[in-house]
Copies of this chain bind each other. A is one copy, B any other.
Amino acid sequence: MQRMNIATDTRSRIIAAAKPRFHSRSYANVGIQEICESAGVQKGSFYHFFPSKRDLVMAVIDEFADDWAHGFVAEAFDPALPPMERIDYLIDAAYFWQKSIKEVHGRMLGCIFGNLTLEVSTQDDILRAKLLAIFTRAKSRFRVTLEQAVATGIIPPLDTALTAEAMLAYLEGVILLAKAQNDPEVLYRLGPAIKTLRIETGKV
Where the two chains meet, the residues of A that have a C-beta atom closer than 8 Å to any C-beta of B are 24-26, 28-29, 107-110, 114-115, 117-123, 125, 128, 131-132, 135, 162-163, 165-166, 168-174, 176-177, 179-182, 186, 189-190, 192-193, 196-199
Contact = CB atoms under 8 A, between A and B. Distances in A.
Number of copies: 2
User: From DSSP, what is the main secondary structure of chain A's interface residues?
Assistant: helix
A29 B199 CA distance: 38
Contacts of A168: 173, 177
A193 B197 contact: yes
Given A26-B28, A28-B26, A166-B193, A176 B180 contact: no
A120 B181 CA distance: 12
A41 to B, nearest CB: 24
A121 B109 CA distance: 9
A46 to B, nearest CB: 20
A182 B182 CA distance: 28
A58 to B, nearest CB: 15
B132 A180 contact: yes
A202 to B, nearest CB: 14
B177 A165 contact: yes
Contact of A180 (B121, B174, B197, B199): B121
A173 B122 CA distance: 17
Contacts of A193: 162-163, 166, 197-199
A117 B190 contact: no
Contacts of A174: 166, 169, 173
